[in-house]
Amino acid sequence: MAEVLITENIVGSPMTALGSAFDVAFEPALWQYPDRLAQRIPEAKALIVRNQTQVTAELIRLGGRLQIIARAGAGLDNIDVEAATAAGVVLSNTPMQNAISVAELTVGLMLALARKIPAADRHVKDGGWDRNAFTGTELYDKTLGVLGFGRIGFLTARRAAAFGMNLTACDPLVDPDALTVAELRPKMVNLEQLLARADFLTCHLPSTETTQGLLDYDCFCRMKPTAFFVNVARGDVVEESGLLRALEEGKIAGAALDVRQHEPPQSNALDTMANVILIPHIAAFTDEAQHRVVAAVCRDVEAVLRGGQARHFVNFPAPRNRLREPTG
């Protein structure tokens, strides 16, 4: 009987060590089969997931022995946090561990858009050598608009500052006296102003009831026609049909999407646009970030299963875990 159930592809040496301390079931495809997952969950004391396993209130209810749900990553949009808390299950995640990788990719995508790198690469591999077709723009002295000035927004802005970009940010939840604001001194503006000013708009918002569908056609119409849009956060913050229409009508100059409204996405017109870069939700996928993520997840699972405290907890469940053990 597995004490630790892993329902997505989460591997690495810390996981091997966890396997020698506990009975671990590694089922990387289980997230695709909710019925089979529902059958397996009653045996588990720990559930380890990425973003594809739907950890619903019903699944948590079925997991009568669950003590911890560990999210290998930052976003919690696939987990019913309230249900976990109400059920006395600790929820932990790893937002610090992959933030640098996400910020680096964001800057990479900005450069790729500005210098048309993917299109130029395709052109040469197709036998071309037309240098004039690939004149780009610099990041220097352009305005970066950071939508969501949390950890990743801050790390992105810090890197953009090194390119000589002018920093603007919008985040009503950020304390104007926060250290991150004090260090970089971005111009804090509202969404309307951010859209109007940004030469590069980068989205770092989580998916919540408030943010879902926030960036629609009207928003993109309020941007500069020369502006580029980058999304490495959550796809459903963007109304993808609105973005597509804005691109087709030349309301903005281009976009790079690591995340999509529906994942995996259906093929659509974005697939063939030369000024659009599409990648498969890989911002956190570096050796370094994944090692940190897996190590942190394993530490938290081990701590909780040994009766201790998770370091990266995100909820405050009542200490009733052991009461959930079947009594019969």
Active site residues: 234, 263, 281
Site string for ligand MLT, 94-123 (x = CB under 6 A): ----x-------------------------
Q: Is 74 near ligand MLT (CB under 6 A)?
A: yes
Query: Do 143 and 197 form a contact (C-beta atoms < 8 A)?
Result: yes
Task: Give the range of 68-76, 110-118, 172-180, 240-248 binding ligand MLT by CB under 6 A.
Answer: 68-76
**Which of 50, 142, 159, 292 is the binder for ligand MLT (CB under 6 A)?**
50
The single-letter code of the amino acid at 242 is G
Mapping DSSP to helix (H, G, I), strand (E, B) and coil, where does residue 173 land?
A: coil
65: which 2 tokens? 């022995």
DSSP 18-66: HHHHS-EEE-TTGGG-HHHHHHHGGG-SEEEE-SSS-B-HHHHHH-TT-
Q: Is 28 near ligand MLT (CB under 6 A)?
A: no
109: which 2 tokens? 């995508």
Element (H, E) at 113: helix 99-114
Minimal distance in Å, beta carbon 98 to ligand MLT? 5
Sheet holding 143-147, edge to edge: 187-188, 166-170, 143-147, 200-203, 228-231, 254-257, 276-278
- Is the Cβ of residue 51 or residue 67 nearer to ligand MLT in the bound state? 51
Minimal distance in Å, beta carbon 177 to ligand MLT? 27
How many residues lie near ligand MLT (CB under 6 A)?
7
**Which of 19, 28, 64, 75 is the binder for ligand MLT (CB under 6 A)?**
75
* CA 183/CA 314 separation, integer angstroms: 26
- Is the Cβ of residue 99 or residue 195 nearer to ligand MLT in the bound state? 99
Q: Is 312 near ligand MLT (CB under 6 A)?
A: no
- Is the Cβ of residue 40 or residue 50 nearer to ligand MLT in the bound state? 50
Minimal distance in Å, beta carbon 146 to ligand MLT? 17
**Which of 63, 73, 118, 148 is the binder for ligand MLT (CB under 6 A)?**
73
Q: Is 207 near ligand MLT (CB under 6 A)?
A: no
Element (H, E) at 168: strand 166-170
Site string for ligand MLT, 262-301 (x = CB under 6 A): ----------------------x-----------------
Preceding peptide of 264 cis, ω within 30°: yes
Q: Is 67 near ligand MLT (CB under 6 A)?
A: no
- Classify burial at 292, counting beta carbons within 10 Å of its beta carbon; exposed 0-12, middle 13-18, buried 19 or more: buried
Minimal distance in Å, beta carbon 51 to ligand MLT? 3
- Is the Cβ of residue 73 or residue 186 nearer to ligand MLT in the bound state? 73
| Strand-pair partners of 47 | 5, 69
320: which 2 tokens? 């009733």
The end-to-end CA distance of the chain, in Å, is 17
Minimal distance in Å, beta carbon 324 to ligand MLT? 27
Provide the binding-site residues for ligand MLT, judged by CB under 6 A.
Answer: 50-51, 73-75, 98, 284
